[in-house]
A and B are shown apart, each in its own frame.
Chain A
């Protein structure tokens, strides 16, 4: 089969905060990017976020996620990047070419350099009844209410008291659903306390040390059985919707297809492509950024994207190494700050550990060992 093929100096896969910031930085440095995203809107996760963001001014703090998305997209276009929406990247071959489904058929791209910023996918876990209609990812429920203006059901139970669980539970209330509660296996709330506090004020109970036993119903969810892990007592919640917010995992398929070395880092969401502090993988010309390089936050994703864009432009010979280094230092210092505090500290240490693993041939052997064992030893 003879497929249409295009050459590009830089292709960015994913138009979330990481991909858009990478594209903006690269475009500014003189390496014009083509950005591909399978969605119908640029902005990635941000388009579903209607709460005000934390962070600093550089990261759009105080604005709502979808507002930041609009700003990033227009910044990218003004900077000279091309964005093609509705384009899903299906393959990343060992020879460096990308196979793309543009809706009307597939074609090939031959990039000079590639920045992968494909984000993360929601995790799930099995329990009796988990395939009943009405059980869904918290992100799916969030997409329905905030993007499509449709309710997934009448009354929901949320599993997971991390930021995603807390925020989405609140947003379901805002959209007009009832929320019966948020259950969490651990002893403490994983997300920011402000989000938990808002739910408490709305009268939504938080059940710590509780786990899902089963989702029940004939053809759809009608109730959910939950166990109090301290006492063993069972509670039945009469809900038609069960939302799972039990973590995200980097979407590393394309990186794996390309042959990039994958490392397992539990604190950052699981298997992710090895990279150095400049977001370079072990394959020259392939860079990663954002949740794909470790599940963190939009602010981190933006700065990692900027690093990747700078590194790509410098490595392509269009950006003066001295200038690149100065700007990277500035961004690196900001990332340090973002990863400060009790929430950021474990992630900061995990990143350190990851970046200090050698990316050389011996490193690759290590990587294979890591892959076989399925775990990165803590040092």
Chain B
């Protein structure tokens, strides 16, 4: 979910609306925001599954914990909290039998 009508910040400036793909599924995102933030906005909080199949999601949002890592087509494993959204990006949820 996105913040609406914040009492201090008002309507936050957001980038152009673009489409990204998660495991083949199209999602709306804002250009330039971190991929992890775009996923939270769509209610998606699982970034990857560990070798033993446990789900993991963003924990620090500042590139320290590596829990937000996902596969980005053409780039390999990335930290989604630091990777800005670009039009048409294709992401995959590693592990959990999907990668």
Residues from chain B with Cβ under 8 Å of A63 in the complex: none
Segment among B17-25, B57-65, B70-78 that sits at the interface with chain A: B57-65
Residue A376 at the chain B interface, CB threshold 8 Å: no
* Docked CA distance A149–B14 (Å): 9
Is the Cβ of A133 less than 8 Å from the Cβ of B46?
yes
B60→A131 contact, CB < 8 A: no
B-contact 0/1 string along A142-155, CB 8 Å cutoff:
01111011111110
Do A136 and B6 touch (CB < 8 A)?
no
B3 and A220 within 8 A (CB) = no
Given the known interface contacts A50-B9, A64-B8, A140-B61, the answer about A133 and B56 at a Cβ–Cβ threshold of 8 Å is yes
Most B-side CB within 10 Å, residue of A140, A146, A175: A140
Contacts of A50 in B (CB 8 A): 8-9
A174 CA to B64 CA in the complex, in Å?
A: 27
Find out whether the CB atom of A148 lies under 8 angstroms from the CB atom of B34: yes
**A315 sits at the interface (CB 8 A):** no
Nearest-CB residue, chain A, relative to B48: A133
Q: Knowing A148-B37, A174-B6 touch, does A220 contact B55 (C-beta < 8 A)?
A: yes
| B2 adjacent to chain A (CB < 8 Å) | yes
Q: Are B3 and A150 in contact, CB atoms less than 8 angstroms apart?
A: yes
- Chain B, residues 35-58, CB within 8 Å of chain A (1/0): the string is 001101100011100000011111
A276 within 8 A of B: no
Q: Is A137 in contact with B45, judged by CB distance below 8 angstroms?
A: no
Contact of A175 among B6, B37, B45, B58 (CB under 8 A): B6
- Asked if A259 is an interface residue, CB under 8 A from chain B, the answer is no
CA distance A174 to B56 in the complex (A): 27
Nearest chain-B residue to A64 (Cβ)? Answer: B8
A274 to B47, CA, bound (A): 39
Q: CA separation between A145 and B45, bound complex, in Å?
A: 15
Interface residue tally on B, bucketed by range: 20 to 34
Assembly CA distance A150 to B54 (angstroms): 25
In the assembled complex, which residues on chain A have CB atoms less than 8 Å from the CB atom of B54?
A: 131
Residues of A within 8 A of B4 (CB): 176
A32 close to B (CB within 8 Å): no
In the complex, which residues of chain B have a beta carbon less than 8 angstroms from the beta carbon of A153?
Answer: 45
Partner of A139, one of B14, B61, B67: B61
As a 0/1 sequence over residues 90 to 117 of chain A, the CB contacts with chain B under 8 angstroms (1 = contact) are 0000000000000000000000000000
Q: Is A121 an interface residue (CB 8 A)?
A: yes
Q: Does A157 contact B (CB under 8 A)?
A: no
User: Does B12 belong to the interface (CB within 8 Å)?
Assistant: yes
How near does chain A come to B82, taking the closest CB pair, in angstroms?
A: 8
Which chain A residue has the least Cβ–Cβ distance from B33?
A148
Contact of A187 with B by CB under 8 A: no
Contact with B along A119-137 (1 / 0, CB 8 A): 0011010000001111111
| Bound CA span A349–B96, Å | 51
Q: How far is the CA of A148 from the CA of B12 in the complex (A)?
A: 8
In the bound complex, residues from chain B placing their C-beta under 8 Å from that of A174 are: 6-8
Could you tell me the distance in whole angstroms from the C-beta of B61 to the nearest C-beta in chain A?
4
Contact B62 A175 (CB under 8 A): no
A291 within 8 Å of B by Cβ?
Answer: no
Q: Which residues of B contact A (CB under 8 A)?
A: 1-4, 6-9, 12, 14, 33-34, 37-38, 40-41, 45-47, 54-64, 67
Query: Can you give 12 A-B contacts (C-beta < 8 A)?
Result: A124-B59, A132-B55, A133-B56, A140-B58, A140-B61, A140-B62, A148-B33, A148-B37, A149-B3, A151-B2, A174-B8, A219-B46
Sort A-B residue pairs by CB-CB distance and give the 9 closest, nearest first: A133-B57, A149-B12, A140-B61, A148-B37, A133-B45, A143-B61, A149-B3, A151-B1, A150-B41
Given contacts A133-B45, A148-B37, 4 further A-B contacts (CB under 8 A): A38-B63, A121-B60, A148-B12, A174-B8
